[in-house]
Amino acid sequence: AAIVLKANSIHIKDENNQSFIKGIENTGAVELYYGNSKTFETTNTGTTVTGNLNCTALLPTGNLELVDSNAGNVGRIRMGAGDDFSIYHDGTASHIQNNTGELKIASDNFQFLTGDGSEKFIDCNGNGNVELYYDNTKRFETGSSGVSITGNCNVDGNITLSDNEEIQFGNSTDFRIYHDSNNSY
């Protein structure tokens, strides 16, 4: 059996005249209340939650939008048993905050780009190299035989090589500097 209520609008209140549920005329919207304050509503584009949204399962597809309606308060996406991971924007900067001690990002390829996506900062290629960029020009790259530097390499400190390791110059490594355990060459 079913209970069917038909009206232009439906408004369910408690004995103290505080709202529980409203069905809004002509729009089909539904509003839910807690302590006479609207906490959930349906709209023509989805739903709006005012306050915290506590999920015990994965969110459905679509967008999750957090809007700060109170000055000084930041809307956050919080995850973990102790809210130890959060993503938020404070009006000036965007933040990913991790308090678990280790943040892992898994991807076959991973890039850090400028805000408009037009320039690379870092490019990490799975099972391959890592590249560092300055002004969208590759300056440092890891590879199977070591690292490659494009441009000047300024060192403030020592360059240390073990015995018999060489610094090599020229296309044919025709100029070398090295030290064995007794002599310098």
pLDDT in tens, the chain (185 residues): 788 888 888 888 888 888 888 888 888 889 999 988 899 999 888 888 888 777 666 655 555 566 555 555 566 777 777 778 888 877 788 888 888 888 888 889 999 998 888 999 999 998 889 999 999 999 999 999 899 999 999 999 998 999 999 999 988 888 999 999 899 99
Amino acid letter, residue 69: S
Amino acid letter, residue 163: D
How far apart CA 168 and CA 166 sit, in angstroms, is 6
Using alpha carbons, select from 166, 162, 171 the residue that is nearest to residue 185.
166
Distances (CA, A) of 144 to 55, 68, 84, 141, 148: 45, 48, 37, 10, 11
Q: Which three-class secondary structure state does DSSP give residue 54?
A: coil
Amino acid letter, residue 71: A
How far apart CA 35 and CA 81 sit, in angstroms, is 27
Measured between alpha carbons, how far apart are the two ends of the chain, in Å? 97
